[in-house]
Structure 1
Amino acid sequence: MSALELTLTGADVLRPDGVERGGELTFAGGEIQTARAGRAIDLTGYRILPGIVDLHGDGFERHLAPRRGAMKQMTEGVIAAEAELAANGITTAVLAQFYSWEGGLRGPDFAGQVFEGIKAARSRVVTDLVPQLRFEIHLLDAYDELPSQIARWQVPYVVFNDHLPHDRLAQGKKPPRLTGQALKAGRNPDVHWQMLKDMHARRPEVPAALDKLAATLGAAGVRLGSHDDHSAGDRITWRDRGARISEFPETMAAAETAKAAGDAVILGSPNVVRGGSHKGNASALDLITMGLCDALASDYHYPSPRRAALMLERSGLLDLAGAWRLVSEGPAQILGLEDRGRLGTGLRADLVILDADDQIAATFSGGRVSYMSGDVAARFLT
Structure 2
Amino acid sequence: MTLTPLRLVNATVLRPGGLDTDPISLCGGRIATDGGREVDLSGYLILPGIVDIHGDAFERHLAPRRGAVTDPRAGLPALEAELSANGITTAWLAQFWSWEGGMRSPDFAASLCAALERYQAILDIRVQLRLELGCHDAFEAASDLIARYGIGYVVLNDHLPHEALAAGKRPPRLEGQALKSRRSPADHLALMQRLHAEMPVARTRLAALAADLKDRDVILGSHDDHDAETRAWYRGLGVDISEFPTSEAAAVAAQAAGDPVVMGAPNALRGGSHARGVSAAALIGMGAVSALASDYHYPALAQSAFRLAETGLPLAEAWALISINPARMMGLNDRGDLAAGQRADLVIVETATMRIAGTIANGQIAHLAGPLAHRLIGGDA
Equivalent position of 2:117 in the other structure: 119
Alignment deviations for residues 261-305 of structure 1 (CA, whole Å, 9 cap, x no partner): 111100100001111000111100110000001101100000001
Counterpart CA distance in 1 for 2:362 and 2:3 is 7
Counterpart CA distance in 2 for 1:195 and 1:210 is 19
Q: Percent same amino acid among aligned pairs?
A: 51
Equivalent position of 1:10 in the other structure: 10
Does 1:187 find its partner at 2:183? Answer: yes
Aligned pairs for 1:353-368 within 5 A: 353-355=348-350, 356-368=352-364
Aligned pairs for 1:91-240 within 5 A: 91-121=89-119, 124-240=120-236
Q: Give the match's secondary structure for 1:138.
A: helix
Counterpart CA distance in 2 for 1:360 and 1:320 is 16
Equivalent position of 1:319 in the other structure: 314
Q: Give the match's secondary structure for 2:221.
A: strand
Q: Give the match's secondary structure for 1:145.
A: helix
Does 1:379 find its partner at 2:378? Answer: no
1:85 alignment partner, one of 83, 86, 92 = 83
Aligned pairs for 1:58-77 within 5 A: 58-77=56-75
Q: Give the match's secondary structure for 1:179.
A: helix
Deviation at 1:228, TM superposition (A): 0.4
State the AA in 1 paired with 2:215: A
Deviation at 1:189, TM superposition (A): 1.4
State the AA in 1 paired with 2:235: R
State the AA in 2 paired with 1:57: G
Q: Structure 2, unaligned stretches of length 5 or more?
A: none
Equivalent position of 1:290 in the other structure: 286
Counterpart CA distance in 2 for 1:84 and 1:265 is 26
1:349 alignment partner, one of 344, 347, 360 = 344
Counterpart CA distance in 2 for 1:191 and 1:322 is 49
State the AA in 2 paired with 1:117: A
Equivalent position of 1:329 in the other structure: 324
8 Å contact 1:4–1:368 — kept in the other structure? no
8 Å contact 1:89–1:363 — kept in the other structure? yes
Deviation at 1:3, TM superposition (A): 5.1
Name the Cα RMSD after superposition: 1.0
Q: Give the match's secondary structure for 1:70.
A: coil
Does 1:246 find its partner at 2:242? Answer: yes
Deviation at 1:369, TM superposition (A): 0.5
Deviation at 1:234, TM superposition (A): 0.8
8 Å contact 1:3–1:366 — kept in the other structure? no
Equivalent position of 2:45 in the other structure: 47
State the AA in 1 paired with 2:337: R
Structure 1 moving runs of 4+ over 6 Å: none
Q: Structure 1, unaligned stretches of length 5 or more?
A: none
Alignment deviations for residues 193-226 of structure 1 (CA, whole Å, 9 cap, x no partner): 1111111111111221110010111111111000
Q: Give the match's secondary structure for 1:340.
A: coil
Equivalent position of 1:338 in the other structure: 333
Deviation at 1:144, TM superposition (A): 2.1
Alignment deviations for residues 31-87 of structure 1 (CA, whole Å, 9 cap, x no partner): 111122x21110001000000001100011011001111112312212220110000
- TM-score normalised per structure 1: 0.97
Alignment deviations for residues 332-382 of structure 1 (CA, whole Å, 9 cap, x no partner): 011110110001011111000000211100000111100001111111122
8 Å contact 1:295–1:326 — kept in the other structure? yes
Counterpart CA distance in 1 for 2:317 and 2:332 is 19
Deviation at 1:114, TM superposition (A): 1.1
State the AA in 2 paired with 1:341: G
Counterpart CA distance in 2 for 1:300 and 1:4 is 35
Higher mean displacement: 322-331 or 199-208: 199-208
Q: Give the match's secondary structure for 2:11.
A: strand
Deviation at 1:319, TM superposition (A): 0.5
Counterpart CA distance in 2 for 1:150 and 1:181 is 26
8 Å contact 1:132–1:158 — kept in the other structure? yes
- TM-score normalised per structure 2: 0.97
Counterpart CA distance in 2 for 1:233 and 1:245 is 15
Counterpart CA distance in 2 for 1:180 and 1:133 is 23
Counterpart CA distance in 2 for 1:143 and 1:14 is 43
Count of paired positions: 377
Alignment deviations for residues 84-113 of structure 1 (CA, whole Å, 9 cap, x no partner): 000000000011001100001111111111
Counterpart CA distance in 2 for 1:349 and 1:180 is 44
8 Å contact 1:228–1:249 — kept in the other structure? yes
Aligned pairs for 1:303-314 within 5 A: 303-314=299-310
State the AA in 1 paired with 2:339: G
